[in-house]
Amino acid sequence: MAVTKAKKAEQIDKLNADLQKASSMIVGTFSKLTVAKDFELRKTVRAAGGRYRVVKNTLASRAAEGTKVGEALKGLKGVSSIAYTAGDPVILAKALSKYVDDNPEFSFKTGVLEGRLISQKEIKALATMPSKEEIYSKLLFLINAPAQRLVTVMNAVGRDIAVVINQAVEKKKFKEIVGVVGGTSTAAVNNQIIDAGDPIVDNQINDERAEPTAVNNQITD
C-alpha cells in the first residue's frame, strides 16, 4: 500500500522533531539481519542512551534538514539505519562498535560528532576514548587528591605527637612542678618538664620538630 503525501509529511515532521535534539549520530547499514538481531541492536542503542531507526534515504535527508546531523544523511544509498543521541557520543560509539564486532552483517556508513561529519575510521577511534563520565571521575580525583593527601598528612602528624606525649606520660617523664616562684626562669621550668635522658622520647620529639620540607614532600608526592 502506497504511503500518502500527508503520511510522508507526518513522518518527516516526527523524525525532524527527534533529530533536532540530536547532537551526534551513527549511520549504519545491514544485510540479512534477523528479527532477534534487530531487537538486540535496538536494545543496545537504548542502553547507550540513544534512539535507533531504519529509515528511507530521501525521507531521512529531508527530515534532517536544519539539524546538527543533517550532513550525514545527504546522498545515502542502499539500506540505512540511524542511531542518534543528545547524550555522550562515546558511549553510543562503544556500544555500536561492540555490536559490529559481534555481528559482521551490520556495518557503519558515516557519522556525526557534535555536528561534525566523521568517517567509519573515526567512529572506531571514538569508541576507544574514555566516556564523559570517566573523564569527569578522573578530573574530580585529580582535584580532590591534593586535599585528601594534605588531610592525611596533618592527621598523621597529630597522631604522632599524641603518641609521643602518651609515652612520655606512661614513663613518668613529666615532673611535678612545685614551688616555681619569683626568679625561676621559663627555661628552667621547661627543662624540668622533659627528662632528656631518654633517647626514645628525645628522638620522637625531634622527629616532630623536623623541617616542614618532609611534610611538604608527602603532600606533593
Q: State yes or no: pLDDT of 84 exceeds 60.
A: yes
Lowest-confidence segment of 2-6, 60-64, 95-99 by average pLDDT = 2-6
Neighbours of 49 (CB within 10 A): 14
Q: What angle do CA 32, 25, 85 make, to 5 degrees?
A: 110
In the structure, what pLDDT confidence band is assigned to residue 220 with cuts at 50, 70 and 90?
A: very low
The SS3 assignment for 68 reads coil
> What pTM value is reported for the model?
0.60
For 114-122, what is the mean pLDDT? 91
